[in-house]
Amino acid sequence: MKKIFGLFLLVTFSINAQTWQLEAIKLKEGSEKEYLETEKFWEKVKKLAVKEDKLRAWYVFKNITKVEEGKARRYDYFVCNFYKDEAEMNSNVDMLDLAMRAHKGKLSKSKIRYNFQNWESAREYTNIYTLERIDQTINTVPISKNTPVYLYPMAQKNDEYENLEMKFAKKSHEIDILDYRKAYWAFDKVIDRSENANKEITHFTLEKYTSDNLPKSRRSNWDEMEYEESLMWDMAFKSRKGFPRIQLEFVMSSE
C-alpha cells in the first residue's frame, strides 16, 4: 500500500498541462488543531473528487520556514488543488453533494453541513494564487513528511525571464537531479490571484529535494565559470526578483 501511495504522489506532482490553485493560509491564534480537523474532513471529500475525475490531486503543507525571534510567519499552511485544465477548475462541481457522499454513514448530515459551511472558521485569512504549470523536470522521489520541499516566489523583471528559467536555469536543476541532490523542479506562472494576494509575484518555482543532507553539487563554482556561462547567469538573475523561499512540510493529500 505504501508503494502505491508513493507512486501516486510521484505521478500527480508531475502531471502535464496543469492549472492549479495555491491557498496561502494564516490561522487564527491557537486554531491549528481545529484547522487540521477541518482539513481531515476535506481529505475524504477531495479523495472522492479525484476518484470521480473532478480534481487531479490535493495537498496540504505546513510552513516550517525559520523566522527571526519575535516575528510571525505571514502564512501557516499552504493547500494545493491540481486540475487538468482551467475548464475543470471552473466546472460547477456540487461540493456539498460530494461531502455528503464522502462522509455518508460516518457523520450525520447536520454535522457534514456544519463542517462544509464553516471551513474557514480557523483561518484568519486566505490568499489564493491561480497558476499554470509551464515547465518541470522529471520527478524522481515520492513525497513524504521527511521530503524537503521549497516554494520560491518570483517577480518577472523583463521579457527574457521565462526563457532564461526554462532554457538555461532548468539545466542546473537537471544536473542536481542527476546528482540525486534534487528530486523535482517545477515552474509556474500566476494567471490570477485573490484581491489581497501579493500583486508583485508573477511566478513560483517548486523544488523538492532528496534529503536535508545533500551531497556537494556538480554545478560550476561562480569563480570557475566560463565567461559565457557567467554572463547567462547574470542575465538570469537580472530578469527576475526573488522573494524569501518558503520551506514546506507535507501533511496530507488526496491519496
DSSP string, 34-47: HHHHHHHHHHHHHH
Instruction: Check residue 220 and report its DSSP letter.
Output: P
How is domain 2-253 classified at the CATH fold level? Alpha-Beta Plaits (3.30.70)
Q: Are 204 and 190 in contact (CB under 8 A)?
A: yes
Phi/psi of residue 32, each to 5°?
Answer: -65, -45
Residue 8: per-residue pLDDT = 39
The separation between the first and the last C-alpha atoms of the chain, rounded to the nearest angstrom, is: 11
Distance between CA atoms of 148 and 111, rounded to whole angstroms?
A: 36
Burial of 233 (0-12, 13-18, 19+ CB in 10 A): middle
Residue 225: per-residue pLDDT = 63
Other C-beta atoms closer than 10 Å to the C-beta of 211 total 13
Q: Are strands 77-83 and 57-63 parallel, antiparallel or unpaired?
A: antiparallel
Q: In sequence order, which residues have a C-beta less than 8 Å from that of residue 9 and are 6 or more positions away?
A: 142, 143, 144, 253, 255
Q: What is the pTM of this model?
A: 0.88
Q: In sequence order, which residues have a C-beta less than 8 Å from that of residue 237 and are 6 or more positions away?
A: none
Residue 253: per-residue pLDDT = 95
Other C-beta atoms closer than 10 Å to the C-beta of 156 total 18
Q: By C-alpha distance, which of 199, 206, 209 is closest to 152?
A: 206
Other C-beta atoms closer than 10 Å to the C-beta of 255 total 19
Residue 59: per-residue pLDDT = 97
The pLDDT tens digits along the chain (255 residues) read: 444 334 334 444 544 548 999 999 999 999 999 999 999 999 999 999 999 999 999 999 999 999 887 788 999 999 999 999 999 999 999 999 999 999 999 999 999 999 999 999 999 999 999 999 999 999 988 888 888 999 999 999 999 999 999 999 999 899 889 888 889 999 999 999 999 999 999 999 999 998 765 545 545 555 666 767 778 878 888 999 999 999 999 999 998
Phi/psi of residue 187, each to 5°?
Answer: -125, 120
